Chains A and B, each alone.
Chain A
C-alpha cells in the first residue's frame, strides 16, 4: 500500500464543472503539497498546506489532519486545467522537505 494515495486516477469533465481530487496519506507529514504537471512534463507547485484551506483563483485546497485527507477543488473548470495533479506528503527535517508522492490524477476538461 502506497503511503500517499490519490483518487481518481483519471477524470474527464465538461467545461464549467466543479472538480474534486482526493488524497489520503498514511504517514505523519508536516505539510501536504498539491502539484500540477503539464503535458510537457513541467511541474508547478499549486499549494502547500498544513491545516485548513487555501484558495488561489479557481483552485481550492483543503486538508483534514485528523482524517489524513486532503482535497483539491477546481471551480468552473476550463480545458486549460487539463493536466496531471499530484499530491505529495512532506516531512520536514534537517534535509528540507522529503516528499512522498501520490500516483497522480490525470484530468481532462472537454470544451
Chain B
C-alpha cells in the first residue's frame, strides 16, 4: 500500500534561519507531488507541484523553494525564513490520471 511521510511534525525556527522540510512517498511510482500551506485562520494554498524528478512549478511568488531530487522525494526549503512563513505545511501525492490526492500529516512551522 502507498504511504506518505512528512517530517518534522513541528518546528520552531528563528527569523532568518534556513528551512528544509522533507516529504517521501512509498509504494507508488512517478506520483504528482504537491506542497500546500495553511496559514493561521486561513484556507489551504498550493505552493508548489511536481510531475517528475527535477520538475517544479510554483503557484505563488514567495520566500520558499522546492526540489524533487528523487522520484518519491519532495523537499521544501528556504534560505532565510520570514515571520510570514509561519503556518501548517502539507505535502500530498497523487497517482497518474484523475486520482484523489493523499496528504501527509503536516508540519506545523512557527517562526520566532
Known: A30-B98, A43-B90. A102 touches B43 (CB 8 A): yes
Neighbouring B residues of A111 by C-beta, 8 Å? none
Contact with A along B4-36 (1 / 0, CB 8 A): 000000000000000000000000000010100
A45 touches B100 (CB 8 A): yes
B106 touches A92 (CB 8 A): no
On chain B, the number of residues with a Cβ less than 8 Å from chain A's Cβ atoms is 25
A41 touches B88 (CB 8 A): yes
Does more than half of chain B's interface fall in helix, strand or loop, or is it mixed?
A: strand
Q: Of A41, A96, A99, A102, which is within 8 A of B106 by CB?
A: A41
Q: Does A86 contact B (CB under 8 A)?
A: yes
Contact with B along A15-33 (1 / 0, CB 8 A): 0000000000000001101
Minimum Cβ distance to chain B for residue A98 (Å) = 7
Q: Does B71 contact A (CB under 8 A)?
A: no
Query: What is the chain B residue whose CB lies nearest that of A6?
Result: B43
Q: Of B42, B46, B98, which is within 8 A of A31 by CB?
A: B98
Supplied contacts A98-B46, A98-B59, 10 more A-B pairs, CB within 8 Å: A41-B38, A45-B103, A48-B98, A95-B32, A96-B94, A97-B98, A99-B46, A101-B45, A102-B43, A104-B43
Which A residues are within 8 Å of any B CB, using their own CB? 30-31, 33, 35, 40-45, 48, 50, 86, 88, 90, 92, 94-99, 101-104
Write 15 A-B pairs (CB below 8 A) sorted by A numbering: A31-B98, A35-B103, A40-B105, A41-B90, A42-B103, A45-B103, A86-B44, A92-B98, A96-B34, A96-B94, A97-B32, A97-B94, A97-B98, A99-B101, A101-B44
